[in-house]
Chain A
Amino acid sequence: MPATRSVIAPAARAPGGPGTLDQSASMIVRGGDFLFVSGLTAIDSTTGAQMRGTTASETRQVLTQLKQLLEAAGSSLDKVVKVNVLLHSMLEAPNMNEVYGKFFPDPPPARTVCGARLPDGVKVIIECTALA
């Protein structure tokens, strides 16, 4: 029997309108035993608007959102198997790491960090694959 695909957390409808990041993507899609989480950017939890801060503050916000999303989906940060972190500058990697290390249990998941051009002036994007 083929594995089942289901959208766990549907596309965010951010108040910013067109051009905001996640409208064309489901936040979490389940396929078989895995959850596939979209690249998340920092969202202000009170206004729902895109949040721009330092690499550290965006990292903290994104991982907070990731934790909430996973837990709402019945998973958690300790079930994450692989993380991809995209940074606007690799010089900021230590600032990201300092925050990142506080969120994941020991041993943390596998991870890749890349410096890349990110949309809309975002400093940090984090995506992951987790066990459902």
Chain B
Amino acid sequence: MTDKLARSTIQPKNPVLNVSRSANLPHVPGIRVGDYIFLSGMGPIDPQTGERNHGPIAEQVRTTLANMRHMLESAGSSLERVVRIHVVLADISGFAEMDRVYREFFPADPPARTVWSMQLRFGNGCEIECVALAG
């Protein structure tokens, strides 16, 4: 029938944002398979220094979503192509602040979204993952 779907790795153009590599973690930033892109959970990494940005939750969300945009655009996709997103907060009381910043990034026709809170690693206040259509 159809050919087997090709599976390839997604890398950010800015190598500072390749946390999988810099922290020697057993995952890749993302995988493209067929028409879909699956990104790993992303945290608030400063794109200049590679340090974690542990400021107010609004700043952490802004940094993380800006990095997600970079990651998707590095793969020829974009935030406008995101179909599903998971926003995980360390503290659910940051929901309103998260949401305020989130809307700046998805002003129209936003993706399907689920938000919850659970323990996160590295002291991150948020971790965001998504599924997007390839470009």
Chain A residues packing against B (C-beta within 8 Å) = 2-5, 7, 10-11, 18-19, 21-22, 24-32, 34, 36-39, 84, 86, 114, 116-120, 125, 127, 129
Contact = CB atoms under 8 A, between A and B. Distances in A.
- What class of interface size applies to chain B in its complex with A? 20 to 34
A26 B110 CA distance: 6
A26 B113 CA distance: 7
Contacts of B36: 3, 31-32
Contacts of B84: 29, 31, 36, 129
B112 A25 contact: yes
Contacts of A120: 95
Given A3-B134, A32-B133, A38 B92 contact: no
Contacts of B106: 24
B100 to A, nearest CB: 9
Nearest to B80: A5
Contacts of A26: 109-112
A124 to B, nearest CB: 11
6 contacts: A3-B36, A11-B110, A29-B83, A39-B114, A119-B116, A125-B114
Main secondary structure of the interface of B (DSSP, over half): mixed
B135 interface: yes
Interface in B48-64: none
Contacts of B132: 31
Given A26-B111, A116-B117, A36 B96 contact: no
B85 to A, nearest CB: 8
Nearest to A34: B83
Contacts of A32: 34-36, 133
Nearest to B94: A119
A36 B112 contact: yes
Contacts of A30: 83
A86 B131 CA distance: 19
Nearest to A37: B112
Interface in B67-125: 80-81, 83-84, 92, 95-96, 99, 102-103, 106, 109-118
A54 B36 CA distance: 37
Contacts of A11: 110
A14 B79 CA distance: 25
A100 to B, nearest CB: 17
